[in-house]
Each structure stands twice: as C-alpha cells, then as structure tokens.
Homo-oligomer: A and B are copies of this chain.
Amino acid sequence: MAGKTVRIRRAGASGSGRRARPVMLAVAGDSAAGKSTISAGIVAALGPDRCAHLSTDDYLRHDRVERRALPVTPLHPDTHHIPILEQHLRLLAGGEAVLKPVYDHRSGRLTRPELVEPREFVIVDGLLPLHTTLARACFDVTVFLDPAEDIRRHWKLRRDTTTRGYTPDQVLAELAAREADAVAFVRPQRGRADIVVRFAPIPGRPGAPLSAEILLRATIPQPDLAGVLTHEVSQVMHLRLARDVDGRPVDSLHVHGYVPPEDGAAAVKAMWEAFGDPDSGVPEFFGRIGPDEYSAPLAITQILLLHHLLEGAR
C-alpha cells in the first residue's frame, strides 16, 4: 500500500538491551539545493519516530541580526559550532541523546534547544555536514546535492521570498555575497560524498521536468543496478561508466525527467521492487516537491538513499 512506512528491524538490536549504533546519512549542499525535500521524503518513508533528523544550520553561532556585523557568510565554518556538531554526531552515533541547538529560519533567531533522542536512523542535512574529518567519520552514507546553479538560484529565490521573509533583491545580494564562501567551503564537500546528485535540465529541452545525474562512488558498496536497467526503462534511466572530476572511474546514473509520466512511474516502480520494501508500495512522499509537483528522478534518488539506510541497518 502506498504511503505505508518501510518496516525493518535492526539486526541484533532488538531485545538485546544494548544501545544499537544508528545508521547515519548526511545530505550536504548549498542553500536551497533541495536538501530538506530529499530528507523529508526519506524521514516520512521510514517513519519520523524511527529517525532523528537535524540540520547543521542549527549549529550557527549567531542569529540573523548578529550576522550582519560579521565579515563572513553563514557558509563559512567559523559561523558554525563545528566542534559541537562533531561532538553531537559522535554522541548520536554512540546511541546517546543530545540537546541540539535550534536556529529558527523564519525569525532568524537562536531559540531553546531540543532533545534529540537516539533513533535507528540519523539524517543530517545542511551546508557543512561533510566539512571536517571527524564529522564525516560518523556517517554511513554521504550525499552532496549539486543542482545546476541557475536552478538552485531559482529555488532559493522562490523559497527565501516566501517562507523566510526576504525580498528578491535581498536574496540576489545574498547569493552574490555568499559565492566566495560557497566556493571555499560548501562545494569542496562534493568531492567527499559517496553519492552526488545533480538536478538539471537537459540541453535542448528547456521547461521540461528536471533530469538527475547520480554519481555512485566506490567509497561505499553501491547497489547493483543491472537487474533494474532493463530495456523497458532504458528511455528513463541508464548507467554510464564515467570519469569523476578527479579522473577516477565512477558510475553515473542518468534519470530523465522529460519522459511521459507513465514511463517515469514504471522506472520508479522497478527501482522500488529491486531496492525498496517488496511488501509495500512506493512511499507516497517520494518524488513529491510540493503539493502538486512530482519528480520521478527525485523518487529514484530517494529510493537509492533509502536502500543505503536499510542496508546499513542490516
């Protein structure tokens, strides 16, 4: 049944009384790269009661007013409590609760902290979860979201002017001001992720739903896609052997967004049958961008990440 959360027990964790190590996923990327959209679908699929979900934005040292006096942007690690983030990730990895700081994006204020109890899965998104070695060492799977820059700017304008109370001019000025810190600190995380997801339009098809290119690096065991990539789905997705930016061989999964919806749905179904829970349908949150926006490439990305979480929990 669609929408049913995915049931799985951590092997060895049940009934032993021992605190199990959670499976930990990092979703890194620049502002408005799609982190919350991806993560929220995965949390909804697993069930919020089984996930601790936090953002590295909560570890900002300054509120919005204080930041105005700073020479750096919130993309700079110095504006974050990075050692505390590392500490909290380490504690969560050890099955301990933490009292997590809270940054309220609406008000721009730091508010009272929240207790984050250990759960089976810990999902951390944010600007800088992969910035330091100690933080990276806590994760089982790391993802970097790398949408085409004009797409990201469009997403950021839309979000910050609607839910965060900024004017378009303020957002554009902020994007310009942040560029240097984005280059120095956010984008280098791309090279440290196990999976890189790039949403972009295909050249020559402006206005069509976005496609995704998903780099699957050999830094973790990646799923064997051979059984899924049959002739039936070949118009929707295919795997290419490519060279990573550093020259290393890497698998690159292309998922086309411009195909007819029924073809996209068939590919999503094939992925789910191979890597999801065969006893339930595709989670209804997968692929959902907004109340009436759907993306098959997003759903396929989420199935891949969910697969890694479930594998890590075995």
Do A101 and B97 touch across chains, with their CB atoms under 8 A apart? no
Copies in the complex: 2
Give Cα A113 to B98, complex, Å. 13
Give Cα A105 to B257, complex, Å. 56
Do A99 and B81 touch across chains, with their CB atoms under 8 A apart? yes
Q: Mark A50-92, 1 if CB is under 8 A from B, else 0.
A: 0000000000010100000000000000000101100100010
Collect the chain B residues with CB atoms within 8 Å of residue A98's CB. 84, 87
Q: Indicate which residue in B83, B84, B112 contacts A112 across the interface (CB closer than 8 Å).
A: B112
Interface residues on A, range: 10 to 19
Do B84 and A99 touch across chains, with their CB atoms under 8 A apart? yes
Closest chain B residue, CB of each to CB of A61: B115
Closest chain B residue, CB of each to CB of A112: B110
CB distance from A43 to the nearest CB of B (A): 23
Q: Mark A90-126, 1 if CB is under 8 A from B, else 0.
A: 0100001111010000000111110100000000000
Collect the chain B residues with CB atoms within 8 Å of residue A113's CB. 99, 101, 110, 113
Give Cα A314 to B91, complex, Å. 31
Give Cα A115 to B61, complex, Å. 9
Do B101 and A96 touch across chains, with their CB atoms under 8 A apart? no
Give Cα A109 to B113, complex, Å. 12
CB distance from A106 to the nearest CB of B (A): 15
Collect the chain B residues with CB atoms within 8 Å of residue A99's CB. 81, 84, 99, 101, 113
Q: Indicate which residue in B81, B111, B115 contacts A84 across the interface (CB closer than 8 Å).
A: B115
Residues of A within 8 A of B (CB): 61, 63, 81, 83-84, 87, 91, 96-99, 101, 109-113, 115
